[in-house]
C-alpha cells in the first residue's frame, strides 16, 4: 500500500459571509439580550486560527437569579397555561426555522468550535432540527406515552451543556423540556456559546413567549450558580464526570440527569467485515476530533485478525484530511481549545511513557490553530492511562482478545459505561453480548449513530437518566 494515499485537493472553504457576528453578545433573559449585572464579558476564539470571534457576557449569581426568575414567571403566567397543542406548534416552528437557517448555523458552529463543516452541516444541525420535530410531536401526546398515569411538568429546568456538540446538546435539552411544559435556563460552554445564542434569537423569531427559554453565558462559576440554584426544579447536565459529581452534591433539586464521560470499547471479531469495520472505527474515534463522549476510544480486536485490521486502519488514517474546518474536504478539524489540546498531549505522552507504541498520520498540520494528528496506540495494556482515561481527542488505544468472554471482560473493565460497538457476522453473538455489556448504547456493525427516538445515557460513572425517546420525556415530567 502506498505511504501517502491523500491527493492534493484545491481548497474548498465555505464562505462565512452568511454569519453576522455582533461585536458583543448579552445573555438572553426574558426575551431580551442583556449584559451581565457587573458588565463582565469574555471572548470566544476560532480554534482553527486562534482569532477572537467576538465577546459575550460572563454571567454571575445575579444574572442566573434574573434568568431563573424570568423562567419562573413565564412558567407560572404563560407556559403552564397554554395548551399542549400550542406548545407543539412552537416547537414545530423552531424546527422549521432551524432547517431554513441551517447553513448559517453550520458555519457558525464550525467557526466557534472547530468541527468540520461536513459534520456540522450533515449531522449536528439536521439532528438538532430533528429533535425539535420529534418532540413537537410528543407535546400533545404525553398521555399516550404514559398511559393510565398523570403527567405534569416539573417547572423550571436548569440545563448545562458542553462544547463538543453545542447546538445539538442545546436541542437535546430544550426540545423535551419545552414539549413537556417546562421553562428553561440554558448555560452553554464557555468556548462555544454562539450557536446557543443564535438559537435564542431564532426562538424569539418563532414567537415563544418571553422567559420560556433563557440563555445565560459564562464560565464554570456561571454553571455552578445555576446547578446549585434553589429556584430550579430540574437540573440536566452534560459534561465531565468530575463536574457531574460536584453537581450531584450541590444541586438543591432531586430531579437530576447527568450525561457524563465514556471510554467505549469497539469490539471487532474475526468474522466481521473488516473494511466496513475500519470505516466504523474511523467514524467512532476520529469523528469530531474524538470530542465525543461515546467515542469508540478503545479498539478490542480479535488476535487472529489484529495485524490485518491494524494495517488497513493505518492506511485509512493516513488518508484523513486534517485542517480548515470550513473546508468541505476536511475530515478532522480543530481541537476545541488550547486547554483540550494540552490535555490530549499530556495523555499521549503518558501512553508513550507507559510503554505503548504511538502511530500517527503523517499529514502536515496547519501552522496556526489547534490541531492534533489522528493517532493510535498499539501494545496497550488495560492498566495504561490511555486505556482507562477519557482522552477526548483523535487518539485510539488498540488491544487484542482471544475469546468473546475475554472481549466482554475487557470491554466492561472501565469505570464508564456509556456506549460500545460490536462487529461480527453472527447475529446470535450480537444478542448474547448485548446482554453482557455494561453500556447504555451498543451499536452493532455501525458506530456513532443517533436518533431522537432512541434513548441515550450511561451506566456507572457515565451518569444516569436517559435523553431521547419516551424515556427522555420522563426526565422532564412528574409521572404519577
Concatenated DSSP letters of 246-270: HHHHH-S-S-EEEE-----EEEE-T
Report what 112 binds from Mg ion, ligand NAP, none; CB cut-off 5-8 Å by kind.
Answer: Mg ion
Query: Do residues 320 and 282 make contact, with C-beta atoms less than 8 angstroms apart?
Result: yes
Q: Which C-beta is closer to ligand NAP: that of 32 or that of 221?
A: 221
Q: Is 270 a catalytic residue?
A: no
| Minimal distance, residue 333 CB to ligand NAP, in Å | 16
Compose the 2-41 pattern: x for residues touching Mg ion by CB under 5 A, - for all others. ----------------------------------------
d(CA 178, CA 173): 9
Report what 235 binds from Mg ion, ligand NAP, none; CB cut-off 5-8 Å by kind.
Answer: none
| Minimal distance, residue 290 CB to ligand NAP, in Å | 10
Cα distances (Å, whole numbers) of residue 309 to 263, 272, 278, 313, 351: 21, 10, 7, 6, 21
Query: Do residues 478 and 154 make contact, with C-beta atoms less than 8 angstroms apart?
Result: yes
The catalytically annotated residue of 180, 293, 363, 467 is: 293
Instruction: Give the containing element (helix H, strand E) for 137.
Output: helix 125-138
Query: Do residues 383 and 228 make contact, with C-beta atoms less than 8 angstroms apart?
Result: no
Which residues, 6+ apart, have CB-to-CB distance to 449 below 8 Å? Answer: 443
Q: Which C-beta is closer to ligand NAP: that of 37 or that of 219?
A: 219
Compose the 107-146 pattern: x for residues touching Mg ion by CB under 5 A, - for all others. -----x----------------------------------
| Minimal distance, residue 337 CB to ligand NAP, in Å | 9
Q: Is 293 a catalytic residue?
A: yes
Stretch that binds Mg ion, among 43-51, 387-395, 414-422, 462-470 (CB under 5 A): 43-51
| Minimal distance, residue 426 CB to ligand NAP, in Å | 30
| Minimal distance, residue 81 CB to ligand NAP, in Å | 31
Q: Determine whether 84 is exposed, middle or buried from the number of CB atoms within 10 Å of its CB (0-12, 13-18, 19+).
A: middle
| 44 belongs to the binding site for Mg ion (CB under 5 A) | yes
Helices 125-138 and 84-100, packing angle to 10 deg: 160
Q: Which C-beta is closer to ligand NAP: that of 372 or that of 392?
A: 392
Q: Which C-beta is closer to ligand NAP: that of 278 or that of 473?
A: 473
| Minimal distance, residue 113 CB to Mg ion, in Å | 6
Query: Do residues 259 and 237 make contact, with C-beta atoms less than 8 angstroms apart?
Result: yes
Q: Which C-beta is closer to ligand NAP: that of 90 or that of 476?
A: 476
Concatenated DSSP letters of 303-365: HHHHHHHHHHHHHHHTT--BS-TTBTT-SB---S-HHHHHHHHHHHHHHHHTTPEEEE--PPP
Query: Do residues 24 and 55 make contact, with C-beta atoms less than 8 angstroms apart?
Result: yes
* 3-state secondary structure at position 147: coil
Report what 44 binds from Mg ion, ligand NAP, none; CB cut-off 5-8 Å by kind.
Answer: Mg ion
First-to-last alpha carbon distance for the chain, in angstroms, is 62
Query: Under the rule (CB under 6 A), what is the footprint of ligand NAP?
Result: 160-164, 187, 189-190, 219-220, 223-224, 227, 238-240, 243, 246-247, 259-262, 293, 390, 392, 418, 463
> Apex CA 117: angle with CA 95 and CA 261, to 5°?
80
Q: Which C-beta is closer to ligand NAP: that of 94 or that of 243?
A: 243
Report what 239 binds from Mg ion, ligand NAP, none; CB cut-off 5-8 Å by kind.
Answer: ligand NAP
The catalytically annotated residue of 259, 363, 389, 467 is: 259
| Minimal distance, residue 294 CB to Mg ion, in Å | 22
Q: Which C-beta is closer to ligand NAP: that of 262 or that of 374?
A: 262
Which residues, 6+ apart, have CB-to-CB distance to 244 below 8 Å? Answer: 237, 258, 260, 463
Give the footprint of Mg ion on this chain (CB under 5 A): 44-45, 112, 191
Which residues does the annotation mark as catalytic?
A: 259, 293
Amino acid at each position: 500500500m502506498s505511504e501517502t494515499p491523500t491527493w492534493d485537493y484545491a481548497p474548498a472553504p465555505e464562505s462565512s459571509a452568511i454569519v453576522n457576528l455582533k461585536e458583543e453578545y448579552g445573555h438572553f433573559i426574558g426575551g431580551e439580550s442583556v449584559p451581565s449585572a457587573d458588565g463582565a464579558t469574555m471572548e470566544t476564539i476560532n480554534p482553527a486560527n486562534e482569532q477572537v470571534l467576538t465577546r459575550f457576557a460572563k454571567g454571575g449569581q445575579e444574572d442566573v437569579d434574573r434568568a431563573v426568575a424570568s423562567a419562573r414567571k413565564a412558567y407560572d403566567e404563560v407556559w403552564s397555561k397554554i395548551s399542549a397543542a400550542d406548545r407543539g406548534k412552537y416547537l414545530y416552528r423552531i424546527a422549521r426555522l432551524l432547517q431554513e437557517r441551517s447553513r448559517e448555523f453550520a458555519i457558525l458552529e464550525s467557526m466557534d468550535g472547530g468541527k468540520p463543516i461536513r459534520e456540522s452541516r450533515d449531522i449536528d444541525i439536521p439532528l438538532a432540527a430533528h429533535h425539535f420535530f420529534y418532540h413537537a410531536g410528543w407535546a400533545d401526546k404525553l398521555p399516550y406515552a404514559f398511559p393510565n398515569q398523570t403527567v405534569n411538568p416539573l417547572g423550571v429546568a436548569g440545563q448545562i451543556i458542553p462544547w463538543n456538540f453545542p447546538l445539538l446538546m442545546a436541542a437535546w435539552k430544550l426540545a423535551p423540556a419545552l414539549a413537556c411544559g417546562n421553562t428553561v435556563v440554558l448555560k452553554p460552554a464557555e468556548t462555544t456559546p454562539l450557536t446557543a445564542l443564535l438559537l435564542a434569537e431564532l426562538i424569539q423569531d418563532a414567537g415563544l413567549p418571553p422567559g420560556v427559554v433563557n440563555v445565560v453565558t459564562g464560565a464554570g462559576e456561571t454553571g455552578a450558580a445555576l446547578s446549585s440554584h434553589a429556584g430550579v426544579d430540574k437540573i440536566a447536565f452534560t459534561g465531565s464526570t468530575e463536574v457531574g459529581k460536584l453537581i450531584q452534591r450541590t444541586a438543591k433539586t432531586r430531579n437530576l440527569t447527568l450525561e457524563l464521560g465514556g471510554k467505549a470499547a469497539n469490539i471487532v471479531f474475526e468474522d466481521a467485515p473488516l473494511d466496513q469495520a475500519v470505516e466504523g472505527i474511523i467514524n467512532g474515534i476520529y469523528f469530531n476530533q474524538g470530542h465525543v463522549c461515546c467515542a469508540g476510544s478503545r479498539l478490542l480486536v480479535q488476535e487472529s485478525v489484529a495485524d490485518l485490521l491494524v494495517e488497513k486502519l493505518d492506511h485509512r488514517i493516513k488518508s484523513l484530511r486534517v485542517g480548515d474546518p470550513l473546508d468541505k474536504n476536511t475530515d478532522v478539524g480543530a481541537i476545541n481549545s488550547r486547554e483540550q489540546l494540552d490535555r490530549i498531549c499530556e495523555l499521549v505522552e503518558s501512553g508513550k511513557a507507559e510503554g505503548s507504541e504511538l502511530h500517527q498520520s503523517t499529514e502536515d498540520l496547519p501552522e496556526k490553530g489547534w490541531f492534533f494528528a489522528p493517532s493510535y496506540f498499539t501494545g496497550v495494556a488495560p492498566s495504561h492511562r490511555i486505556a482507562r482515561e477519557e482522552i477526548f481527542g483523535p487518539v485510539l488505544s488498540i488491544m487484542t482478545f482471544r475469546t468473546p468472554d475475554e472481549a466482554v471482560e475487557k470491554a466492561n473493565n472501565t469505570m464508564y459505561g456509556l456506549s460500545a460497538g460490536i462487529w461480527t457476522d453472527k447475529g446470535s453473538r450480537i444478542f448474547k453480548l448485548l446482554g453482557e455489556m455494561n453500556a447504555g448504547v451498543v451499536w452493532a456493525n455501525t458506530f456513532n449513530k443517533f436518533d431522537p427516538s432512541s434513548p441515550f445515557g450511561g451506566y456507572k460513572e457515565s451518569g444516569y437518566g436517559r435523553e431521547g425517546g419516551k424515556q427522555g420525556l420522563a426526565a422532564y415530567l412528574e409521572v404519577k
